[in-house]
Amino acid sequence: MSREAILSDLCDRILALAPGRPAAVAVDGADAAGKSTFADALVAPLETRGAVVVRASVDDFERPRAERHARGRFSAKGYYRNSFDYDALKTLLLAPLASGTSPALVRTRAFDLVTDQPVPARPQAVPARGVVIVDGVFLLRPELRDAWDFSVLLQVDEAEAMRRALLRAGGDSEELRRLNEARYQAGYRLYVEDADPIRQATVVIDNNDPREPVMQPAGC
């Protein structure tokens, strides 16, 4: 299937859910797997089909820097255990979607990573036929997996993820490589061992070549 065909198929499957409330969709994967780009690519075809789409990212529910790095800047366990405020994500975004209230009043941001400060509350109304797409790492961990109506897991090789991460950072250095290897890639391995996201995802996609993603059998 082409990339366009995969996106079209996913959109059809998401809209076929018809849960009677806004659908919660997760786009999960390792750092630099292409999560935000893939999630963004779902928006237009969903809107063409008549859905009201709201985008969110787990990056806007991070913990303060001191908490994220409490185990050390290079800690894999700190990345997996201490990066995100899941209570805020559930309370402000996921629980209102599941409540059945129409429209659902949600917040798509709780924290500003740049200023390292909470952001003002700006609730957003999501109609019953809405679709909320959340991108981010660790979204299929045990405490979140039941919140999703549909989930996509993007798979990339570690070498490709490293290449993209260095490109995104605008350069290469021993420190950047150490940070990616020791914190991000090792932390994602902890997640795989703990949560087995391949078996939890609705759809698994090989995204090593984002121009030609490959749909894989889920649960394998």
Check which CATH number belongs to the domain holding 115 and give it.
Answer: 3.40.50.300
For position 219, what pLDDT does the model report?
Answer: 56
Average pLDDT over residues 81-96: 98
pTM here? 0.96
In a domain, 98, yes or no: yes
Between the CA of residue 23 and those of 127, 151, 180, what are the distances in Å? Answer: 10, 11, 33
Are 88 and 110 contacting, i.e. CB atoms less than 8 angstroms apart? yes
Give the pLDDT band (50/70/90) at residue 218: low
In a domain, 215, yes or no: no
Average pLDDT over residues 126-142: 97
In a domain, 213, yes or no: no
Instruction: Please count the CA atoms within 13 angstroms of the CA of 57 that sit on its side-chain side.
Output: 14
* Total tally of structural domains belonging to the chain: 1
In a domain, 57, yes or no: yes
In a domain, 8, yes or no: yes
According to DSSP, residue 20 is labeled S
In a domain, 216, yes or no: no
Alpha-carbon dihedral sign for residues 5, 145, 125, 35 = negative
For position 172, what pLDDT does the model report?
Answer: 85
| Averaged pLDDT of the chain | 96
The alpha carbons of the chain give a radius of gyration, in whole angstroms, of: 17
Q: Which domain holds residue 16?
A: 3-208
In a domain, 145, yes or no: yes
Are 141 and 187 contacting, i.e. CB atoms less than 8 angstroms apart? no
In a domain, 191, yes or no: yes
For position 220, what pLDDT does the model report?
Answer: 55
Are 80 and 187 contacting, i.e. CB atoms less than 8 angstroms apart? yes
